[in-house]
């Protein structure tokens, strides 16, 4: 008998929301080029602008600040590589898309350390910014709103406040946070923010860069004048329609966060009760309500994921973009997590349709794996 499937990998990608599917289906026959001025082109443009307003409402930005991209990776690359910076500051637990872009820059850089809970330490950033030449190119700082592996919420508002007196442009990768917790671009004091549709139930291959008016930035993709001349190329009307609908639905569902967090907390308590050797990583600090990173020390995460997959559960060994690689997560290394704990860490990320029954069955499967590990030891 085939085990029922339970999806617990929402941080890798959310299932497509029905609202997004319907919006994309409705856009299939709107074939005009959105840059054309005739009726068919205006119909396509109307879909894009409606979606721009929906995405803007989700993060409290102005519609004109939303620049559609192919995803958060492109948005990060544009934010970080879109001009010459005098220096760059970023966290050592950032997503690989941020780290790769920042480390390619020909500019002085500082990596903010994190503490043992995975919270980035911003205590030295003002002193560092004060040492940068204020007459030269502006400094860029980048700090994610939430870590995709641990779920840890980062002190972005405190960072922008600490740097307010200096010539610093602050960017945040909000791909994991937007749609799961309230995000207020305006109140955070950011200049740039990256978003991803498929993390909130939209289609893959579409995202956005939020650009505050007046922020200095050159496009990575040049050619036509699309997207306020920030990103050339004919817009993907169907994907943008799906993104907008997903953003609107995610905004409506933000009040589910407390319920999801209660399920997550119950799961963690149950895992540690039935399998005391289980270690919940970063459980003592504020996190995304749907995320837990839990380890069976002495086991390999890849083995745990395979066994749980056979038992009917989908989840990841760390971030999905790096789970196929051999080696310890750079996030857990930065946190100083012991190697045997880090090697056995898997990420469980819940969704709006996850039930208590799902998690009870997961706990039983986890306990069986832990028992096997104990017998092997």
pLDDT digit string, tens, across residues 138-162: 999 999 999 999 999 999 999 999 9
| pTM of the predicted structure, to 2 decimals | 0.94
Residue 93 among the catalytic residues: no
**Span 243-252, pLDDT tens digits:** 999 999 999 9
Determine the distance from the C-alpha atom of residue 28 to the mean position of all C-alpha atoms in its chain, rounded to a whole number.
28
What are phi and psi for residue 348, nearest 5 degrees? -110, 120
- Count of Cβ atoms closer than 10 Å to residue 352 Cβ: 18
**Span 1-30, pLDDT tens digits:** 566 899 999 999 999 999 999 999 999 999
pLDDT score of 322 more than 50: no
Helix (H, G, I), strand (E, B) or coil at 181: strand
Annotated catalytic residue: which of 39, 93, 114, 321? 321
Predicted local distance difference test score (pLDDT) of residue 83: 87
What ranges do the domains of the chain cover?
Answer: 6-15+256-376, 18-252
CATH topology for 6-15+256-376 is: 3.90.1150
Encoding tokens for residue 80? 């970080």
**Span 336-350, pLDDT tens digits:** 999 999 999 999 999
Which CATH class name applies to 18-252?
A: alpha beta
- Provide the b/e sequence for 354-376 (b: ≥16 CB within 10 Å): beeebbebbbebbbebbeebeee
Predicted local distance difference test score (pLDDT) of residue 376: 40
CA 337 – CA 290 distance, rounded (Å): 21
């Amino acid at each position: 008998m085939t085990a029922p499937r339970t999806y617990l990998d929402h941080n890798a990608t959310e299932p497509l929301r029905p609202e997004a599917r319907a919006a994309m289906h409705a856009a299939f026959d709107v074939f005009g080029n959105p840059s054309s001025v005739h009726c068919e082109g205006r119909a396509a443009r109307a879909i894009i602008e409606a979606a721009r307003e929906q995405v803007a409402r989700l993060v409290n930005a102005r519609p004109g600040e939303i620049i559609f991209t192919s995803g958060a990776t492109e948005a990060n690359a544009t934010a970080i590589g879109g001009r010459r910076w005098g220096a760059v500051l970023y966290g050592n637990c950032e997503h690989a898309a941020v780290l790769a872009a920042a480390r390619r820059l020909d500019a002085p850089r500082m990596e903010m350390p994190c503490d043992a809970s995975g919270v980035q330490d911003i205590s030295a950033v003002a002193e560092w910014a004060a040492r940068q030449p204020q007459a030269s190119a502006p400094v860029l700082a980048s700090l994610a709103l939430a870590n995709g592996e641990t779920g840890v919420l980062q002190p972005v508002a405190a960072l922008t406040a600490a740097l307010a007196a200096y010539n610093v442009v602050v960017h945040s990768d909000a791909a994991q946070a937007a749609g799961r917790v309230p995000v207020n671009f305006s109140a955070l004091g950011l200049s740039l923010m990256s978003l991803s549709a498929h993390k909130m139930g939209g289609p893959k291959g579409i995202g956005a860069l939020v650009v505050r008016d007046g922020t200095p930035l050159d496009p990575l993709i040049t050619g036509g004048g699309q997207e306020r001349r920030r990103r050339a190329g004919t817009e993907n009307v169907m994907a943008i329609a799906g993104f907008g609908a997903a953003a609107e639905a995610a905004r409506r569902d933000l009040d589910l966060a407390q319920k999801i967090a209660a399920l997550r907390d119950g799961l963690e308590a149950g895992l540690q009760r039935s399998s005391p050797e289980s270690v919940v990583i970063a459980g003592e600090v504020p996190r995304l309500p749907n995320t837990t990173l839990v380890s069976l020390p002495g086991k390999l995460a890849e083995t745990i994921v395979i066994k749980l997959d056979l038992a009917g559960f989908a989840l990841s060994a760390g971030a999905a973009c790096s789970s196929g690689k051999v080696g310890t997560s750079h996030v857990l290394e930065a946190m100083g997590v012991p190697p045997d704990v880090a090697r056995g860490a898997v990420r469980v990320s819940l969704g709006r349709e996850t039930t208590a029954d799902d998690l009870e069955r997961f706990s039983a499967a986890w306990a069986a794996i832990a028992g096997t590990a104990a017998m092997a030891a």
